[in-house]
Structure 1
Amino acid sequence: MAMSVLGATMAGAEPPKGEPFGKTSRGEPVELYTLKNKGGLTAKIMTRGATLTELNVPDKNGDVADVVLGWDDVAGYESADNQYFGCTTGRVANRIAKGKFTVLNKEYQVPVNNAPNALHGGVERSLDKVVWKAEPFETHRGQGVKFTYTSPDGEEGYPGKLTMEVSYQLTGDNELRIEYIATSDRPTPVNLTNHSYFNLQGAGSPTVLDHEVTIHADKYTPTDDTLIPTGKIDPVEGTPLDFRSAHKIGERIEQLDKTAAIGYDHNFVLNGASGTLRKIARVKDPKSGRVLTVQTTEPGVQFYTGNFLKGQKAKGSKTYAHRSALCLETQHFPDSVNHPEFPTTILKAGDKYTHICVYGFSAE
C-alpha cells in the first residue's frame, strides 16, 4: 500500500527548493522543483498539473539527454498544442463513455472533450490544469516533492470533495517513483495516472518506432470505434498487441493504422495481482542503450504511441513528430465506472485510493 513519504526525512538533509516558473493565464504563480541523484539523473516537476517537465538520463556512453516531452514555459503547457505532456491526469484518466456515469442511483454528466466521450478529467479544472501545493522532502531513497490538491464537490461535474497527494521521488536506484493517495467525503470515481511521453533517444528525436517494447500482459480490453471498451477481455495472442516478448514498435503498427486507435492506444490487462508492485513493462532504445522499466500496483496500462503528435515545436525548439514518443500510463481500465465487470474505480467515503508507479532507468 502506498504510504506518505513525509516524516521519513533524513536529519540534516537538504530537500530541493522551488524556483519560479512563470504564471498561469489566471495569474497564479507556478514553481519548478529539480530532483537529482548520484546516478546522473535529473527530474524537474512543476506545480501546474503536478507535471514532470524534464527527465535527464545517461545513455550507454554516459551522455545525458532529456527523455520526456514538454514545454519551456507555462504558456506552452496552456496551449492547444500540449497533449497532456507529463501531467498528473484525472480525476478520471482515460475515457468515460459519453461523459456519463451513475453513483448511488444518481446519474452524473461530466464535460465531453473527446467527442462523444469525456477524456482525462475535464476541460477547465482537470488535474493537469490546476496549480498544486508543493512540499519538498528528502529520505533515504532520495529527493522528492509531495504535491497536494483538494478538488471541491462538483468540480468538472464529479461528486464529492476529493483530497489528493502525488509524490515524486528520484531514488538512488535511478528510479522515478510516483505515489498517489486520495480520499473523498462521498463515493466518486477516481483513476489517476502520469501522462509522460518518452523517447529514449531524447525528446525531439524523430521516432520511437525502433524502440523495443515488452508488456507483461496476456490480455487487453477491445474497444468500439470511439475507444470505449466493449466489456470483453481478449487474449493478445495472435494480434499486434502481443508484447509478451520484445518487439519493435514499428514492426506491426501498420496493422493498426486503419483502426480507431490509429496505432497503439490500447489498455492492457496486466499479469499479476493488482495492488502489488510488480514489473509490467520494459522499453529499450537500441541506439542509445537506454532502458526504461515500469512497475505498478495498478491492474492496467495504456500503451500509446504518439499517434496525434503533429510536429509541434516545444522544449528547446525541438519538433515532436508523429509517433516520436510513447506513453505507458498505469491506471484502471478505461470507462471502468460503466463496467461493473472491470476492477472498480469507485472510491467510497472513508476509504483510501493508493497507486504506485515506478519508472526505472538503466543503459546497456
Structure 2
Amino acid sequence: MKITQRDFGQGATLYSLKNENGVQLEVTNFGARIVNLFVPTKKEKRNIVLGFDSVEEYLAQDMYIGATIGRVAGRIKDGTFTLGGQTYQTDKNDHELHTLHGGAPSFEAKLWDAKLEESEKKSTVIFSLKSKAGEHGFPGELMVSVSYTLTEDNEWCVDYEAHTDQLTLFNPTNHVYFNLSGDVEQAIDDHKLFIDSDQFACIDEAVITTGEKRSVTDTAFDFRKARKLETSFNSQDDQVKAVGGFDHPFFLNKPSIEHVSAVLTSPDEAVQVEVLTDCPAVVVFTANFNGAGPVIRGKKLTDHGGITFETQTAPGSERFEDFGTIEIQPNVPFRSTTIYKITE
C-alpha cells in the first residue's frame, strides 16, 4: 500500500491511503483530521464522511469536522476543575461560560508533524504534537501522537498516545461525521443504528452532563437492537427534544477493540460501519444544526446530515467519579485505540 500526498493549503498536506479493495482514506496534518473516506459499492464510489477541500474552508466554516479533539473532548462546566488539590481555570470558549473541546484554538487548528509508514497490508500516517504547559489553562507539557492506519481488511484504525511531565487531564477523540448515503443533503434519519449500551448520560440546556446515568430501557436511546434513527428523532423524549436529536454520551457495555460496540448501516444497506474501541463511552452527535450547517462541496448540510462516534471517556468525568477518570500521570503513557471497520 502506497501513500500519496498533495498540498492542502496554508502549509498543510493531504495524505491519501488506498487499499486493494478500493477503500481510500484521506487525512491531513491540519488538525490531524480525516477529510475523506471513499468506499466502493456495487453502483458507485461514496464518500461516507463529511469534509472540505482545503484548510481555508475549515477555517471559514467548521473547525471541528473530522478533527482530532483535545486536550479534553466535550465541555468542562464553568471551565474549572480540581486536580491534585489545586483548582485550574481553563479557556471559556463556549459562549464564554464553559470550556469546549479543550479551548480554542486547540488540536483542531494546529499543523501536526507527520511521519509515514507503508507495508503490504497497511499504511499509516503518524501525527505528533507538543502541547505546552499551561495551554488554555491545562497543567503539564503534553506530547501527543495520533496514528491513522488503513488496512487491507477495510479498517480505519485510530491510535492515541500521550506523555505528560505533570499530573493533568487528557481525553481526546476524533470528531468524524458519517453519512453513509454519501449525500449531505440527505438526513441520516433512515440510517439504522446499533449501540451496545445500557446507559446514557443526561445533559442540561447548555449540553453539560448532569451526572445522571439513565437506563436506555423504554427510551429513545435504546439501540441495543438496530433500528432507524428517525424513530428517536420523532419521539417526545425530553433529552432528545432538548437538543433536537442526540448530543449524548453512551456508556459502552464491553469496551474493547475485540468487540463491536456500535454499527451504522446505510438506508440501502450497501455500506456498514462497525465501531470497536477500548474507550468506556461514545458521544453520539447527530449534527443538530437546524438549518445552520455548513456548505460542503456546494451542498448545504441538512439538519441531521451526519452522525459522530466520538469515542472517549464521558464528558463530566472531571466532576463525576463514576463516569471514569481522565487524569494522566507522568511516566505513565496514555494509550487508546478505536477502529472503524467498513463492511458490506
Interval of TM-score (by shorter of Structure 1 and Structure 2): over 0.9
User: Residue type of the partner of 1:300?
Assistant: A
- Choose the corresponding residue for 2:26, options 36, 44, 56: 44
Say whether the 8 Å CA contact 2:79–2:91 is kept in structure 1. Answer: yes
Distance in 1, Cα, partners of 2:2 & 2:22: 17
Partner of 1:16: 3
Check if 1:227 corresponds to 2:207.
yes
Q: Deviations over 1:43-91 (max 9, x none)?
A: 11011100101110122x1511111111111111112x21511000111
State the secondary structure of the residue aligned to 1:77. Answer: helix
State the secondary structure of the residue aligned to 2:176. Answer: coil
Say whether the 8 Å CA contact 1:91–1:192 is kept in structure 2. Answer: yes
- Choose the corresponding residue for 2:181, options 201, 206, 209: 201
Write the mapping of 1:252-267 to structure 2, written as runs, cut at 5 A. 252-254=232-234, 255-256=236-237, 259-267=241-249
Check if 1:218 corresponds to 2:205.
no
State the secondary structure of the residue aligned to 1:32. Answer: strand
Q: TM-score, normalised by structure 2?
A: 0.94
Say whether the 8 Å CA contact 1:226–1:260 is kept in structure 2. Answer: no
Partner of 2:165: 185
Partner of 1:9: none
State the secondary structure of the residue aligned to 1:341. Answer: helix
Change (3 A) 1:100 1:358: same
- Choose the corresponding residue for 2:275, options 289, 294, 318: 294
Distance in 2, Cα, partners of 1:219 & 1:308: 25
Partner of 2:225: 245
Say whether the 8 Å CA contact 2:287–2:305 is kept in structure 1. Answer: yes
User: Residue type of the partner of 2:47?
Assistant: D
Say whether the 8 Å CA contact 1:15–1:137 is kept in structure 2. Answer: no
Q: How far did 1:222 drift?
A: 1.5
Q: How far did 1:310 drift?
A: 3.2
Partner of 1:30: 12
Partner of 1:359: 340
User: Residue type of the partner of 1:191?
Assistant: N
Distance in 1, Cα, partners of 2:121 & 2:164: 29
Distance in 1, Cα, partners of 2:137 & 2:277: 29
Partner of 1:3: none
Q: How far did 1:203 drift?
A: 4.1
**Number of aligned pairs?**
341
Change (3 A) 1:194 1:309: farther
Check if 1:285 corresponds to 2:272.
no
State the secondary structure of the residue aligned to 1:279. Answer: coil
Q: How far did 1:316 drift?
A: 2.5
Check if 1:127 corresponds to 2:107.
yes
- Choose the corresponding residue for 2:155, options 175, 181, 205: 175
Say whether the 8 Å CA contact 2:275–2:339 is kept in structure 1. Answer: yes
Say whether the 8 Å CA contact 1:72–1:314 is kept in structure 2. Answer: no
Q: Which runs of 4+ in 1 moved over 4 A?
A: 274-277
Say whether the 8 Å CA contact 2:179–2:306 is kept in structure 1. Answer: yes
Q: Which moved more, 1:112-121 or 1:179-188?
A: 112-121
Partner of 1:320: 301
Change (3 A) 1:62 1:266: same
Distance in 1, Cα, partners of 2:237 & 2:144: 37
Say whether the 8 Å CA contact 2:211–2:316 is kept in structure 1. Answer: no
Distance in 2, Cα, partners of 1:347 & 1:239: 35
Q: Which moved more, 1:276-285 or 1:186-195?
A: 276-285
User: C-alpha root-mean-square deviation of aligned residues, in Å?
Assistant: 1.7
Partner of 1:308: 289
Say whether the 8 Å CA contact 2:62–2:294 is kept in structure 1. Answer: no
In the alignment, structure 2 segments of 5+ residues that lack a partner are none
Q: Which moved more, 1:172-181 or 1:231-240?
A: 231-240
Check if 1:136 corresponds to 2:137.
no
Distance in 2, Cα, partners of 1:201 & 1:174: 18
Q: Deviations over 1:294-337 (max 9, x none)?
A: 00000000111110263655443122111111111111001211
Write the mapping of 1:75-154 to structure 2, written as runs, cut at 5 A. 75-79=56-60, 81-82=61-62, 84-115=64-95, 116-124=97-105, 126-139=106-119, 141-154=121-134
Say whether the 8 Å CA contact 2:192–2:229 is kept in structure 1. Answer: yes
In the alignment, structure 1 segments of 5+ residues that lack a partner are 1-13, 24-28
Q: How far did 1:239 drift?
A: 0.6
User: Residue type of the partner of 1:362?
Assistant: T
Partner of 1:336: 317
Say whether the 8 Å CA contact 1:309–1:324 is kept in structure 2. Answer: no
Distance in 1, Cα, partners of 2:257 & 2:45: 32
Q: How far did 1:20 drift?
A: 1.5
State the secondary structure of the residue aligned to 1:338. Answer: coil
Q: How far did 1:277 drift?
A: 4.3
Q: How far did 1:205 drift?
A: 3.6
User: Residue type of the partner of 2:252?
Assistant: L
Distance in 1, Cα, partners of 2:237 & 2:133: 40
User: Residue type of the partner of 1:107?
Assistant: T
Q: How far did 1:102 drift?
A: 1.0
Q: TM-score, normalised by structure 1?
A: 0.89
Identity of aligned residues (%): 33
Whichever structure has more strand as a proportion of its residues is: 2
